[in-house]
Structure formats: C-alpha cells, structure tokens
Amino acid sequence: MTSLSEPILAQVVNYTTSKVAWNALDDTFSSRSYAHILQIHTQLTTETKDNKSTIDYFHFIKKLVDELAVAGQPLSHDDIITYVLAGLSHEYDSFVASISVCIDNITLEEIYSFLLSSEARFSRHQLTPTVQQPSANIA
C-alpha cells in the first residue's frame, strides 16, 4: 500500500486485505466499468465528422468501437454504421439516404471507401475556381 498515491490510497485505506483493496481498484479503474462504457457510448453519439478527414473520423470511431469490444460490449454491424452516418454533416445527406436503403448489404469498409470518394469530390469542387460571367458596363 505504500506504493499507492495519496488519492488512490484514500480509496482503499479501510479495506482489510490487499486482495479486497486490489479488487476495489480493479472495479474502479477497469475498462469494463459502467461509467467508462457510458462515456464511450456518449462519445459515439456526439462525435461528428465536422472538419476531420474521413481517415481521422473513421479512426476515432473504430477506436471507440474497439474499446467497447474490450470492455465486453461489442457493437453490431448496424450500430457501428448508424453511429458513423449520424456523425456526418448535411453535405452527406444524399449519401446517408442511399446507404440507409441498403444498410443490410453494405460493409463498413464500403462506406469508408464511399466517404473517401465523396471527400475527394467535395475537395475538388471547393478548389474549382468560379468562372465569372462577362458583363458589359455601358456608360
């Protein structure tokens, strides 16, 4: 117990055996704790793509999904896709609508690929210079 920091020691000081103390610490800091699982679900619910690249967005979602699996709470294929699609902005509305129709027949990898293509298309359109229509000013 002498190797525990003061705040941690305060949590276990009343336990009579080291086994009971370690079990309490394990329950408190375990990745399986309910609070941790709830936090991950909240992050999945509130995460949006915003200005992140598709690669960064998918990496973050995958990290959260993997954390849930490690905590013994794996998500279904449909749930993962639902979280991914829910975090997309209105620019992706037509994409989300088309994916929603065939959600049973599409893989997460295909969605990732389609999003990368859409992102490249958005970038291309933003980089295209606007052509001004010529006008004649008569004085």
Whole-model pTM above 0.85? no
Q: Is residue 57 part of a domain?
A: yes
**Secondary structure (DSSP) of 19-81:** HHHHHHHHHHH-TT-HHHHHHHHHHHHH---TTS-HHHHHHHHHHHHHHHHHTT-PPPHHHHH
Please state the domain count of the chain: 2
Q: Is residue 130 part of a domain?
A: no
- Residue 15 pLDDT: 85
Q: What percent of the chain has pLDDT over 90?
A: 40
Co-location of 88 and 74 in the same domain: yes
- Residue 121 pLDDT: 86
- Residue 79 pLDDT: 94
Q: Which domain holds residue 9?
A: 1-30
pLDDT(24) > 90: no
Identify the CA nearest to 76 among candidates 55, 111, 103: 103
Co-location of 66 and 105 in the same domain: yes
Answer whether 77's CB lies under 8 Å from 108's CB. Answer: yes
Co-location of 17 and 77 in the same domain: no
- Residue 84 pLDDT: 95
- Residue 131 pLDDT: 47
Co-location of 63 and 117 in the same domain: yes
- Using alpha carbons only, give the angle 108, 114, 115 rounded to the nearest 5 degrees: 90
Q: For residue range 89-101, what is the model confidence (pLDDT) as tens digits?
A: 998 898 889 888 8
Which amino acid, residue 89? S
- Residue 31 pLDDT: 56
